[in-house]
Structure 1
Amino acid sequence: MSTGTYTQLLDLACGVFLLAAVLVLWRRELTALVRLFAVQGVALAAIAALSGIHEHRFELLAVAVGILVLRAGVLPYLMRRVLAASGETRETEPLVNVAASLLTAAALTLLAYAASRPLVELAPSPATRALPVGLAVVLIGFFTLVTRRRALAQAVGFLLLDNGITAVAFLATSGVPLIVELGVSFDVLLAVLVLQILTTRMHATFGGTDIDDLRELHD
C-alpha cells in the first residue's frame, strides 16, 4: 500500500471514528446509540488493520479482527439485549441539551488538537497527525458518561472513552501487543455483562434505568 493511499484511508477511518462519537451526542434514541457504537467499532478495526498492512505487522491484523468481532459485534449485541429487556427506547432529558453538547464536542475537539500538537511535532507521520482524533473521542466519551441519565447511555460513553484510548495507542505507538488488547477487551466485555445484570435489576425494581432513581433512593 502506498503512503498516499494509506494516508487517505486512515483519514477516512479516523473521520468516521470521530463522527460516530459526535453523533452519539446528537441522537437520543438508545438503539441509535448502539448502532453508532458498532460503526465506531468498525472504524477502530479499520485503523488497526491499516496500521498493520502499512507496517507489515500481521499481528495487528489479528488485533483488528478481534476488535471488529468484539466492538462491532458482541458488545452491540449484548447492549441490544439490555434494551430488549428494559423496554426503553429513548434517553431522558440529558443534563446538557443537544445544541450545547455539540458545541462542547467542537470545543473538546479543538482542545484535543491543541493539546496533542507537541506530540505530533515530535514524530510527524500520517498516524501521529491523526492522534488528536483519538484524544477527542476520549474527551467526548467522558463528556457523554457524565451528562447522560440512562444507564445504557452512560455505558456507551464509557465504551467511547475506551475506544478513544485504544485509538490513541494505535496512532501513537503503532499498536499494542495482542495479549494486552485481549486483556482490555475482556475487561470491557465483563463490564457490559455486569451492565446487563444491573439494568435488568433496576428495571425490575424501579420500572426504568434512569440513574436519578438511584440518587432518590440514596436520599
Structure 2
Amino acid sequence: MSSGDASQAVALLAGLELLTAVLLAWRGPASSPRGPLAVQGFALAGLVAVIGVAEGEPVLWLVALLVGVLKGVVLPTLVVRRPSRAAGPAAPPAADRPATVRPVVRPAVVRGRSRVPLLLGAAGLVVVAYLAARPVTRVVTGATGQALPVGFALVLVGFALLATGRRSQSQLVGFLVLDNGIATTAFLATGGVPLVVELGVSLDVLLVVLVLQVLGSRIDTAFGAGAPGGTDLDQLRELHD
C-alpha cells in the first residue's frame, strides 16, 4: 500500500469515527447507541489494520482483530444489554381483590431536550481539537499525522457526553467514546501500540464497563421504572432531599 493510499484510508476511517461520535451526541434518550458504537469500534479496528499494512507490522493485524471484537461487538452489546428484572410475587386473581383496590400503573416518562445545543457543542469541540492538535501534527510524520486531530476531537466529545449525560447509559456511551478517542490518538501518534499494551488496556476497559453496567442496572431496577436509557439522574438528586 502506497503512502497516499494509506493516508486516504486513515483519513476516511478517522472521519467515520468522528461522524459516529457526533451521531451519539445527536441521538435521543430512546434511541439505541449500539449501532454507532459498533461502527466506531470497527472503524478503529480498520484504522489499526491500515497502519499495520502501511508500517509493515503484522502484529498490528492481531491488535486490529482484538479491537474489532472488543470495541465493535462486546462493549456495544454490554452497554445496551439490560438484565431481566426479578419477578415479584404473583398478583392475586381479580375476583379475590377488594373492589376498592385498583392497581396503579405509572408509565415511564422520558423527559427529552433539544439536541441542537449538543450538536453545536460537538462541532465547537471538533474545531477546538483541530486547533489544539496543529502543533502535534507538525511533529508526527507519515500517513497518520493529518488525522491526529480526530483523536483529540473524540476525547473532547467523550468528555462532553460524560459531563452532560443525564442517564446511566449516556454516561457509559461517553466513557466508551472517550476511550476510543484515547486509543485513536495513541495509534495515530505512535504508528501502532504493542499487542500486550492494547490487551491490558482493553481488559481494564472491559472490567470498568462491566462494573458500571452492573451498578447502573441495579439503580435502574430500584428507580428507573423501565425508562429507556436508564435512570434520569435528576430523579436520583431528588432523593437527596
The two structures have a TM-score, normalised by structure 1, of 0.91
Matches within 5 A, 1:108-187: 108-187=125-204
CA distance in 2, matches of 1:5, 1:162: 27
- The one-letter code of the counterpart of 2:59 is E
- The one-letter code of the counterpart of 1:141 is G
| Alignment-derived partner of residue 235 in structure 2 | 213
The structure 2 residue matched to 1:93, chosen from 112, 126, 136, is 112
Q: Which runs of 5+ in 1 are unaligned?
A: none
| Alignment-derived partner of residue 193 in structure 1 | 210
CA distance in 2, matches of 1:90, 1:74: 30
- Tell me the alpha carbon deviations over residues 113-148 of structure 1, each in whole angstroms, 9 at most, x when there is no partner: 111111111234320110000100100011011111
- Tell me the alpha carbon deviations over residues 59-104 of structure 1, each in whole angstroms, 9 at most, x when there is no partner: 111111001000111112222322x648xx997435xx31111111
Change (3 A) 1:65 1:18: same
Q: From the CA coordinates, give the structure whose radius of gyration is larger.
A: 2
The two structures have a TM-score, normalised by structure 2, of 0.83
Measure how far apart 1:29 and its partner are: 4.6
Report the aligned-residue RMSD.
2.0
CA distance in 1, matches of 2:80, 2:9: 30
- Tell me the secondary structure at the aligned position of residue 10 of structure 1: helix
- Tell me the secondary structure at the aligned position of residue 125 of structure 1: coil
- Tell me the secondary structure at the aligned position of residue 81 of structure 2: helix
CA distance in 1, matches of 2:178, 2:145: 19
Q: Which runs of 5+ in 2 are unaligned?
A: 86-107, 226-230
CA distance in 1, matches of 2:232, 2:140: 45
CA distance in 1, matches of 2:112, 2:69: 32
Q: Which moved more, 1:46-55 or 1:198-207?
A: 198-207
Change (3 A) 1:2 1:118: same
- Tell me the alpha carbon deviations over residues 160-213 of structure 1, each in whole angstroms, 9 at most, x when there is no partner: 000000000000011212111111111111112112211221122113422223
Q: Which has the higher helix share?
A: 1
- The one-letter code of the counterpart of 1:68 is G
CA distance in 1, matches of 2:109, 2:183: 28
- The one-letter code of the counterpart of 1:112 is A
Measure how far apart 1:28 and its partner are: 1.1
Count of residues paired in the alignment: 214
| Alignment-derived partner of residue 70 in structure 1 | 70
CA distance in 2, matches of 1:2, 1:67: 24
Q: Is the 8 A contact 2:14 2:43 kept in 1?
A: yes
